[in-house]
Structure 1
Amino acid sequence: MSELSVPGSAEELTVETLDGLIARDHPGTRVARFELSNIKRYGQEMVSSAGRANVRLEFAYNPENLPKEVLMKLAREDLLPAPLYENEVAFYRILRPELHLATPRSLGGAYDSATGNFALLLEDLGPRDPHFPNVLDHISVDRVEGLLDLFAELHAGYWDTPRWSGDLAVIQSHVDGHIFEFFEKIAPGFVAIEVENDSFKKEMVAALGTDVPEMWAGLRRVQRYQSTGPLTMLHGDAHLGNTYALGDGSVGLLDWQLAVRGNWAHDVHYLINTALPVDVRREHEVRLLKRYLAKLSAFGVASPPSWDTAWYDYRLALIWGFFIGWLITPRINYGPGINQENVLRMKSAMADHDTMSLVRELVGAPERVAS
C-alpha cells in the first residue's frame, strides 16, 4: 500500500495530502491552500474510467514553477478499473519524466493497493486553449499525420530496447501483469453482455461472421503473436478521444492508463481508424502507414518493419480496437453517438481487411515463443 494518504473522493482532499503527493516527485514544494471545482464522477461528461476535479493551487514554496491549475484524477466509486489506476501512476512516475512528447506534466500521484483508491495530479491544459476531439468531430488528415509522428517518436525511443530486461522490466504487457489479468477476468463477460443488450453491436458482430468467444480467443492469440517482437512502449489506448490539439496547432496525448510494452500496430491502427471516417480512412490509410514507417527510420529505428509485415500487423491489430476498444465500452461512458460511430468504424476496417480470416489463420498456426 502507498505510504501516502490517497483520497477516495475530491471532497476528502487536504493540503497535507497534496503536499504528500507532490513532494515525493518535486521535493521542497509546499501547498498553502487550494480550491476545488468542476467535480465529475463516472458517467458525467465523458468521464469513463476515472473521476476528475479541477484544483487551483496556491503554493507556499514552488521551486520548480509547477502549474497552479491542475486536473486531479480519482478512482471511480466502484473501483473496478483499479489495475488501470496503478498502471497510470506508474507511467507518470517512471516514464513521463524521460519523455519529450506533448502530454500533460505530472505534479504527483499515488495508488493505494489496499483500498483501490488513486490520485493523480496533472497539468490542466485549459489555459493553453486546448481542443479535445471525439469521433463525431471533423479531424483533418494533417492532424492525424501529426499524431502519428508523435507515436513514431514514442515507439522509436523504446524500439526493442535492452531496457525491457533491465530498469523497464516493471512495465506491463498484453500477456502478463495486472492489466492482462484485469481484461482476462472481465472482458469476455462484459463484451457478451454488451453484444446481447445492444442491438447495434450485435448486428456489427454478426456482419463479421463471428461471435464473442471466437473473437476473444483470437484476440489473445494475436497478442501472443505481437509479444514475440519487436516490442516498444505503447500508449495503449490511442483512440482519437485521448488526444488533444492546442491553439498553436500542436498535438498531444492524454490518458495513459493502458500504457504497456507491445507491438507498434496496437497504437497506430487505433488512432487511424477512430480519427477518420470510413471513406477517408480507406483513401489515406496506406499512405499514413507508410509515413509512420518512414518516421520510425527518421527517429532512429535501424530496421523498421517491412511493408508486408507492417500491413499484416496493422490489419491483425484491428481486432483489439473493435473488441476491447468499443464492444466492451458501455454507452454511459461517452454517450450513444460516440460509442456507435467508433464501433462502426472499427467493424468496417475489420471487414475491409478481412481481419477475422487473418485471425483464424493465426489461431491455426504453430506459436512462436516470445524471446
Structure 2
Amino acid sequence: MPSDNDTILVKDHRLLTKDWAQAVLRLHDAGAVVRAVETVAVHIGTTTRVRLAIDHDSRHVARKWFVKLPSRNWRARLITALPRLLQTEARFYQQLAAQVPLTIPLCLAARSRWGNGTILVLADVTEQGSRAGTAGDTLDIPQVSAAVGQLARFHARFWQDATVTTSYPWLADSVRQLEDLLGSALAVPLMRRGLSKAGGLIPEELHGPALRYAHNRRKAMAFLNDAPQTVTHHDCHPGNLFWQKDGSAGFLDWQLVRLGEGIGDIAYLLTTTLAPELRRQHEAALLAQYAETVRAQGVRGLSDDLMTRYRAHCCYTFEAMVVTLAIGGMMELDSNLELIRRTAIAVKDLDCFAALPLA
C-alpha cells in the first residue's frame, strides 16, 4: 500500500484527484472525507499553478486549495530545475515558515523527493477574503508602506543570526551558489535578448551599462552580498503579494528565499510596485521608514548610505525583469513589459549602474 506521502507527491496536475485530496486532508483531519474535487484554474509560468475547489466535511480545513508543481513550460522548467526553486519553497514551508513574522499562506502539504518531483499545497488566500495580487498591479503608498514595515520586521528577525546558516544551510548552500553561477554564465546572452525584445521600453542609454553589468555580474553579486546578511524574500514584485481585508500585506512565492541584504527586497518592492511618479515622490521617505523600523527592532549595522545600497540593488531587479522577458513564459507578457518599464525608469532616474563597482 502506498503511503500518504506517495499519494500526495504527484507529477501532473491531472492527478490531483479525489484520492489525492483525501491524502492531503487526512494530514489535518483524519476522519474527514473528500466528496469531490474541481479544478478551477491552471496557470503555467515558473511553476504549474492549480486552483482547486475541494468539497469535504471537515470543519477546520480550507476548501479552496492552491497547488504548485514543476512548470510544464520547458524553458521555465529548465531554468528552475537546476537551482531547485520549487524544492526551496517546499523547504521554506516545512522548516522556516513558522518563524517568519509575515503573513503567509497556510501550508497543507509540502513534499519533495529526488527523481519524483515536488508538490506544494497551500490554503488559497482568497477563501478568507484576501485578494491575491497580479504581477501588473500598481500599488498605492499606504499599501507599499505596509509592505515595507512588514519586510523591515522580517529582516530584523533574522539579522546576522549565525544560527540561520547552521539550521537552514539550504538558504546559502551549493544550490544557491549554482544558481548564481548559472545566472552569471547566462547573463550576457539573456541580457542581449531581453534588451532586444523590450525594444523602446528601455532607453538606449541604458543598453551599454546593462551589458557591462551582465559582463561583470559575478563582481556585482559579490558587491551586493558584501553587507550584513538576513533572510530575504528576493522576489517582491506585486504578483507575489496578497492583500487582507484590513489592508495589510501578505507574501507569496518563496522560491527564491535566501540569505542576502534586506534593502534588496525594498529595492525590488518599490521599483516594481509603484508608478514612477509616486516612487520619485515617496522613495526617500519609504527608505527612511525601513531604516527606522529595522533599528527600532534593535538592529545594528544598517548601512549609513542606504540610498547607495538601494540604487545598487535596483540593478538586480532590472536584470530580473529583463531576463524574465528573455526566457519567456515565466510571467504574463503585458505585466512583464510594465515591470520592465518601471524598473528601467528607476535605474535611469537614480543612475543605478553607477552605484556598482563594474570597472
How far is the alpha carbon of 1:181 from its aligned partner?
4.5
Q: Match of 2:91?
A: 90
Q: 1:355 to 1:215 in 2, by over 3 A?
A: same
Q: Give the counterpart of 1:67 among 62, 78, 84.
A: 62
SS of equivalent to 2:250: strand
- Counterparts in 2 of 1:2-21, with a 5 A limit? 4=6, 6-14=9-17, 17-18=20-21
- The 1-side partners of 2:110 and 2:175 are apart by 26
Q: Match of 2:41?
A: 39
Q: 1:99 to 1:356 in 2, by over 3 A?
A: closer
SS of equivalent to 2:139: coil
Q: Does 1:105 align with 2:106?
A: yes
Q: Match of 2:302?
A: 304
1:195 maps to amino acid: L
Q: 1:52 to 1:136 in 2, by over 3 A?
A: closer
Q: Match of 1:158?
A: 158
Is contact 2:102-2:150 (8 Å) kept?
A: yes
Q: Which range moved further: 313-322 or 192-201?
A: 192-201
- The 2-side partners of 1:29 and 1:75 are apart by 31
Q: Deviations over 1:19-42 (max 9, x none)?
A: 666777x69586645403123132
Gap regions ≥5 residues in structure 1: 43-47, 365-371
Q: Match of 1:146?
A: 146
Q: 1:157 to 1:255 in 2, by over 3 A?
A: same
- Counterparts in 2 of 1:204-243, with a 5 A limit? 204=203, 206-210=204-208, 213-243=211-241
- The 1-side partners of 2:165 and 2:216 are apart by 28
Report the TM-score when normalising by structure 1: 0.83
2:236 maps to amino acid: A
Q: Does 1:179 align with 2:179?
A: yes
How far is the alpha carbon of 1:272 from its aligned partner?
0.7
Q: 1:23 to 1:153 in 2, by over 3 A?
A: farther
- The 2-side partners of 1:142 and 1:69 are apart by 29
Q: Which range moved further: 186-195 or 339-348?
A: 186-195
Q: Deviations over 1:73-112 (max 9, x none)?
A: 1211223222211111111111112223111111111234
Q: Match of 2:278?
A: 280
- The 2-side partners of 1:145 and 1:156 are apart by 17
- The 2-side partners of 1:29 and 1:177 are apart by 44
Q: 1:280 to 1:112 in 2, by over 3 A?
A: same
Is contact 2:38-2:54 (8 Å) kept?
A: no
Q: Match of 1:355?
A: 352
- The 1-side partners of 2:315 and 2:245 are apart by 34
- The 1-side partners of 2:31 and 2:218 are apart by 45
Q: Deviations over 1:42-96 (max 9, x none)?
A: 2xxxxx211122233456778xx33232111121122322221111111111111
Q: Which range moved further: 178-187 or 68-77?
A: 178-187
Q: CA RMSD in A?
A: 2.9
How far is the alpha carbon of 1:185 from its aligned partner?
5.3
Q: How many residues align?
A: 348
Q: Which range moved further: 291-300 or 191-200?
A: 191-200
2:53 maps to amino acid: R
1:73 maps to amino acid: K
